[in-house]
Amino acid sequence: MDSFVYFALLTIVILFLLGTPLCVTFSIGSIAIMIHVMDFPVGNISQIFFTTISGYPMLAMPFFIFAGNLILSSGGMGHLRDCINRLVGHLPGGMAVAICIFAAFLGSISGSATACLAIIGTIFVPMMAASGYPRAFASGLAVTSAGLGAVIPPSVFMIIFGASNRISIADLFAAGVGPGLLAAALMCLLTVYLSIRRGYSGGAKASLALRLEAFRKAFPILLMPLIVLGGIYSGVFSPTQAAAVACVYSLALGVLIYKGITWKVFMDALVETVRLSSMIYFLVIGGELFGRVLGYVGLPQMISQWVIDLQLGPTAFLFAVQAMLLVMGFFFSSFPMVVIVLPLFLPSVTALGIDPSLYGALAVFCAIIGEVTPPMGPQLWIAAPICKEKIGNIMREAWAFLGVQVLALILVTLFPQISLFLVHFVR
């Protein structure tokens, strides 16, 4: 291999360790290698920039982000909170159970773990603290349950992974439903167990009339995932078209029903969407350039051959990859893992006959868990000021819930139909 390649790759590593923005880190070294070593025309590099972000599936990402920002600003989140709280709030640790259910619903609306954390941290954590729950317990549950928002469709991470690697986004969405709901159910069971053990009591049981009233007010929001996901799986519209429908529906809810969207709120949501989408697009471009360099070096093929030589079966391979991704999550954030690391194993996935949607759902879930594990743990740094709790205290309570999420990964790996049943149904 040309010594220049080693020098460029070393430069990428150094820039990464210095904290340089990832899009710059991966782009600079990759472009240098492509021009100097691969004899790649400069004009074609600019074309890569355009084709990477202009693909039809990739257009779904900013629309889903915008829809999530609109619905979260619509003024209906309080009604959704009341609806869920009145349904399960009387259980031992009822408010804690409500967080898990609320996060699952938010995941089907926003597709963003950070957005889920912001809403849960500002709505539920103060409520739980005022009701006698330790703030650390509420914060640990909030930061871990927020990750469900990036697994349950529509997931921004799955859109990026699918669009970048030519995997059906609809299949990835379907594959994420089972693991996401299983993790949510297990977290609910754990919260009930811990609440009984620690003496966290539930609130008064709401009457049927109050439950129906709360459901009536929350129904328009509850209808949104049914419209979006139902439209995708029934073939009425594609994921990209579904994202546009979600934007229109969110805007209608916020303006006509909940009346929480003003012109200022609309512009703030638009600006935040542009900011986040731009960051993701530049990262995806850097990942695409770096992926071409890794393909030139032959790293994916080497990994695939190494896996073949180990003679691992599909289940053992998935366990090995998940273990590696969980360890990497201690040191890397989720976006570079989804863009750079996850595609490296796709040749091995194909060679072993593993459904790419199953691999994508499990791998994305592992990357999301890494968002909460120190020392990197970016979600912890976000949660601390939102929940008004020390990171150490949050992490102490979060480990049990992370363990339950890992258990969900193990169960889905051993019984892949938990994830694939919906994939096979919609194909």
> How far apart are the C-alpha atoms of 162 and 356, rounded to whole Å?
9
Residue-wise pLDDT for 277-318, tens only, equals 887 777 777 777 777 777 776 666 676 667 667 777 889 989
Half-sphere exposure for 212 (CA within 13 Å, toward CB)? 3
Q: Among 102, 106, 108, which residue's Cα sits nearest to residue 153?
A: 108
DSSP code string of 172-223: HHHHHHHHHHHHHHHHHHHHHHHHHHHT----PPPPHHHHHHHHHHHHHHHH
- Buried b or exposed e, range 35-45, using 16+ CB within 10 angstroms: eebeebeeeeb
Nearest Cα neighbor of 258 from 31, 72, 1 is 72
Paired tokens of 160: 């990026």
Mean pLDDT of the chain: 81
Query: Which residue type, as a one-letter code, is found at position 243?
Result: A
pLDDT in tens, 169-216: 888 888 988 998 899 899 989 988 888 888 877 677 778 888 888 888
DSSP assignment letter at 313: -
Q: What is the dihedral of CA 412, 416, 422, 423, to 10 degrees?
A: 120
Are 123 and 77 in contact by the 8 Å Cβ rule? The answer is yes
What pLDDT does 414 receive? 94
Q: At CA 40, angle to CA 34 and CA 44, rounded to 5? A: 110
Q: Given this model, what pLDDT does residue 72 score?
A: 76
Confidence of residue 75 (pLDDT cuts 50, 70, 90): confident
Model's pTM, two decimal places?
Answer: 0.79
Dihedral over alpha carbons 71, 225, 102, 60 (to 10 degrees): -60
**Rounded Cα gap, residues 318 and 304, in angstroms:** 13
Between CA 371 and CA 321 the distance in angstroms is: 17
Is the confidence at residue 219, as pLDDT, over 70?
yes
Could you tell me the CA-to-CA distances from 211 to 11, 93, 216, 219 in Å, in that order?
A: 59, 18, 9, 12
* Per-residue pLDDT band at 55 (split at 50, 70, 90): low
Q: Give the whole-angstrom CA distance, residue 245 versus residue 256.
A: 16
Give the model confidence (pLDDT) of 88-139 as tens digits: 877 777 778 887 888 777 766 666 677 777 777 777 788 778 777 888 888 8
DSSP summary character for residue 59? G
- Above 80 in pLDDT, residue 26? no
pLDDT of amino acid 81: 78
| pLDDT score recorded for residue 409 | 93
Output the pLDDT for position 423.
85
